[in-house]
């Protein structure tokens, strides 16, 4: 959501110089304060323990997030618009929240059960004030500002009634390595959207497998605040603005591990917090890591490396370990 203090525990091979850590939420506007209807850590989760993906029988599947009219030059920026209504792209959407101070923001989230959305802890609780957001909702499969069904954009639907989060950031904020590795949250929403849109599975793969065997084979989806640019050739129809169509990048990698979290090189920006890093395993889509922040050179603003949460916390929650 905002620039945080200097991150002091990067691996030595990244870059010499001044490095800042940024959590990747996106601010929208200021809105009136409302009383929170969200309960923290109190809901009994109905999360399927086997971690397998689910595709509704009447929903088509596509291994790429674009249909027959791609026609987008990749150039230096390898991201392309996520414009598919097919599974598994249907499971990913915008998490929209209002802070305790009445500020509006957004992140990225993914359905992992019929009524459970996976995102970052800093997308549901302010990492500086430690206060839970007053309102949270999930809008699935937003493309050019529109979801599949008009009802999915309603203010009264898809509201989170409770959340479970890995950290409240009271012990050192993002400078605390434990908070970084526990920067996950599960939103329990009031609609069983997974029955319609499907949900992704997850796998907790060893770092050695991800870094060596899966290098260049992963892909990432996030509602980045710098994307898309409708002035760019091929993007002219995406008129809703930046952050209202997700970006997709394939061929990215987990490149390192430290203190129980991953480093990755997928393209990210504000709003992509909570975006899934996905691998196709035996023809099925699994989340293998959860994007949550980036390191920048605070003088030049240049991205250095990105951070991701491991998925073993879901194994622990569901008794798989």
Q: Is residue 69 part of a domain?
A: no
* pLDDT of res. 180: 87
Q: Count the domains in the chain.
A: 1
- Residue 287 vs residues 17, 138, 261, 280: alpha-carbon distances, Å: 33, 18, 15, 9
* pLDDT of res. 295: 74
**Bridge partner residues of 227 (DSSP):** none
Q: Is residue 202 part of a domain?
A: yes
Q: Is residue 246 part of a domain?
A: yes
Distance CA 19, CA 11 (A): 12
Contact 82, 248 (CB under 8 A): yes
Choose among 116, 240, 236: nearest CA to 184.
116
Task: Please report, for the domain that includes residue 159, its CATH number.
Answer: 2.40.10.10
Distance CA 30, CA 26 (A): 12
Q: Are strands 116-119 and 39-40 parallel, antiparallel or unpaired?
A: unpaired
pLDDT tens string 64-94: 887 544 333 334 578 899 999 999 999 999 9
Q: Is residue 234 part of a domain?
A: yes
Structure tokens at 77: 């920026």
Residue 233: which domain range? 3-54+80-318
Q: Is residue 192 part of a domain?
A: yes
pTM: 0.85
pLDDT tens string 6-64: 233 344 334 333 445 567 666 543 333 445 567 765 555 666 557 889 999 989 898 88
* pLDDT of res. 321: 62
**Bridge partner residues of 3 (DSSP):** 22
What are phi and psi for residue 175, nearest 5 degrees?
-70, -15
Q: Is residue 65 part of a domain?
A: no
Q: Is residue 74 part of a domain?
A: no
* pLDDT of res. 7: 36
Residue by residue, what is the 3-state secondary structure of the chain?
A: CCEEEECCCCCCCCCCCCEEEEECCEEEEECCCCCCCCEECCCCCCCCCCCCCECCCCCCECCCCCCCCCCCCCCCCCCEECCCCCECHHHEEEEEEECCCCEEEEEEEEEEECCEEEECHHHCECCCCCCECCEEEEEECCECCECCCHHHHCCCCCEEEEEEECCCCCCCHHHCHHHHHCCCEEEEECCCCHHHHCECEECCCCHHHHHHHCCCCEEEEECCCCCCCCCCCCCCCCCCCCCCCCEEEEEECEEEEECCEEEECCCCCCCCCCCEEEEEECCEEEEEEEEEEEEEECCCCCEEEEEEECCHHHHHHHCCC
Sites in the chain below the pLDDT cut of 70: 1-22, 24-37, 40-49, 67-76, 149-156, 296-303, 321
* pLDDT of res. 300: 60
Q: Is residue 92 part of a domain?
A: yes
What are phi and psi for residue 105, nearest 5 degrees?
-150, 175
Structure tokens at 268: 């990210």
């Amino acid at each position: 959501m905002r620039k945080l203090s200097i991150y002091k525990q990067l691996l030595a091979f990244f870059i010499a110089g001044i490095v800042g850590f940024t959590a990747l939420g996106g601010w929208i506007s200021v809105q009136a304060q409302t009383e929170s209807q969200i309960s923290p850590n109190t809901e009994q989760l109905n999360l399927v323990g086997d971690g397998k993906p689910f595709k509704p029988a009447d929903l088509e599947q596509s291994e790429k997030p674009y249909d027959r009219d791609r026609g987008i030059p990749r150039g230096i920026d390898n991201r392309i618009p996520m414009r598919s209504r097919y599974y598994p792209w249907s499971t990913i959407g915008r998490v929209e929240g209002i802070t305790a101070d009445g500020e509006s923001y957004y992140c990225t989230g993914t359905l992992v059960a019929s009524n459970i959305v996976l995102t970052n802890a800093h997308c549901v609780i302010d990492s500086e004030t430690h206060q839970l957001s007053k309102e949270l909702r999930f809008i699935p499969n937003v493309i050019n500002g529109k979801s599949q069904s008009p009802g999915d954009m309603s203010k009264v639907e898809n509201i989170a009634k409770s959340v479970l989060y890995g950290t409240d950031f009271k012990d050192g904020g993002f400078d605390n390595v434990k908070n970084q590795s526990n920067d996950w949250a599960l939103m329990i929403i009031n609609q069983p959207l997974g029955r319609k849109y499907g949900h992704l599975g997850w796998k907790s793969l060893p770092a050695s497998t991800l870094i060596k065997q899966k290098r260049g084979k992963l892909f990432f989806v996030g509602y980045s605040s710098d994307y898309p640019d409708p002035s760019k050739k091929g993007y002219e129809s995406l008129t809703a603005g930046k952050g209202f169509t997700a970006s997709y990048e394939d061929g990215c990698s987990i490149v390192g591990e430290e203190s129980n979290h991953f480093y990755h090189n997928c393209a990210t920006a504000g709003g992509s917090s909570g975006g899934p890093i996905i691998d196709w395993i035996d023809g099925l889509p699994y989340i293998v890591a959860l994007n949550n922040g980036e390191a920048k050179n605070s003088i030049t603003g240049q991205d250095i490396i990105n951070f991701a949460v491991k998925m073993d916390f879901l194994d622990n929650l569901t008794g798989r370990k």
